[in-house]
A and B are shown apart, each in its own frame.
Chain A
Amino acid sequence: MTIETDKNSSYAEPGIDGMVADWSADKQNFDLPWGKLMMWIFLLSDTFIFSVFLTGYMNVRLSQTDNWPNASEVFALEIGGVHLPLILIAIMTFALITSSGTMAMAVNYAYNRDKRKTVILMAITALLGASFVGMQVFEWSKLISEGVRPWGNPFGAAQFGSTFFMITGFHGLHVTAGVIYLTVIARRVGRGYYEDKGYAIVEITGLYWHFVDLVWVFIFAFFYLW
């Protein structure tokens, strides 16, 4: 989409000149619904939280002198007698990516004012998110039954358990909150609550949901694959 120059808008220029104009504007700096800007600010702060968690994980993993457990084997499963490394994590990754795809389409249908498709796609998104949390519960119970604790585990370095529970737990909390958020907004969309207000709220919800997916990309890379 090219940037439209609107006569009623104070935003005329793209690029660096446009940025200078935006920042020196008299009335407002961002041509966004306020809720969307606030969601971005929140997500930026959340980025810092997860970055600090992952940096802390990096720090303890670098400085420990024990053996770091091999995540590939710790999270392996036997399915039909076949030993598959990391398979549950891969399925969780695909579930979350799919939910991001359905969310992106829900935003599109919302702006087209197709309430039915929006609600259906948001419901699918929430269901995939709930299944993600379900798989995480399974993963946690399996590890706990194998003796993994925040203060130690049978596979190696004790820091493995503490960082695992902290990072995936905080992410799972975000997914759970997202499922609730999606359900509430989808219900309101279905009731026609946003017919007059406009459907920016679906895009805002989408931002949060994509962010949860984004964080998982980093957790998957640094915690499970590294």
Chain B
Amino acid sequence: MSETAGQQHPIGIYLKIWVLLFVLSTFSYLVDFFHLQGYLRWSLILIFMFLKAGFIVAIFMHVAWERLALKYVLFVPLSAIVVLITLMAIEGDYTFLTREIFFDP
């Protein structure tokens, strides 16, 4: 026997999340199916993506029930990724502009 009890939750919650993930995936597929464009498309994609990711991490991976010490270990380092994304977005934009100026399409 391990000394610490594992994560045990009713099966029902997994089934509910499963259905929810199905619905959310269908919605994100429909975004493409109905050819939504522009900011509406991007914001819907992001909303459905973060909802799905949140439910998988919180319920399926049991992070919602873990102690704060572990949550911080998992989420604080991700701020470095946010910084990287920001910097690379700026850099990508800059490269695009210089290419537009110096290369003839």
Contact = CB atoms under 8 A, between A and B. Distances in A.
Interface stretch (A138-146, A147-155, A164-172, A210-218): A210-218
Contact of A108 (B14, B29, B61): B14
Interface string A83-125: 0011000100110011011011101100110000000000000
Nearest to B64: A1
A59 B91 contact: yes
Given A62-B89, A94-B22, A221-B49, A44 B73 contact: yes
Interface in A43-71: 44, 47-48, 51-52, 55-56, 58-65
A86 B81 contact: no
A225 B28 contact: yes
Contacts of B11: 105, 108
A19 B81 contact: no
Given A29-B69, A58-B89, A107-B7, A218 B61 contact: no
In the complex, which of the residues B4, B60, B62, B74 has the most CB atoms of chain A within 10 Å of its own CB atom?
A: B60
Q: Which DSSP category, helix, strand, loop or mixed, fits chain A's interface? A: helix
B67 A55 contact: no
B39 to A, nearest CB: 13
Interface of B: 1-2, 4, 6-9, 11, 14-15, 17-18, 21-22, 25, 28-29, 31-33, 35, 41-42, 45-46, 48-49, 52-53, 56-57, 59-62, 65, 67-70, 72-74, 77-78, 80-81, 84-85, 88-89, 91-93, 95-96, 99-100, 103, 105
Given A19-B68, A94-B25, A111-B8, A100 B49 contact: no
A11 B3 CA distance: 14
Nearest to B104: A65
B93 A62 contact: yes
Nearest to B30: A90
Interface stretch (A30-38, A126-134, A181-189): A30-38
Contacts of B62: 203
A72 interface: yes
Contact of B68 (A16, A37, A206): A16
A81 interface: no
Contacts of B31: 225
Contacts of A27: none
A160 interface: no
B84 A40 contact: no
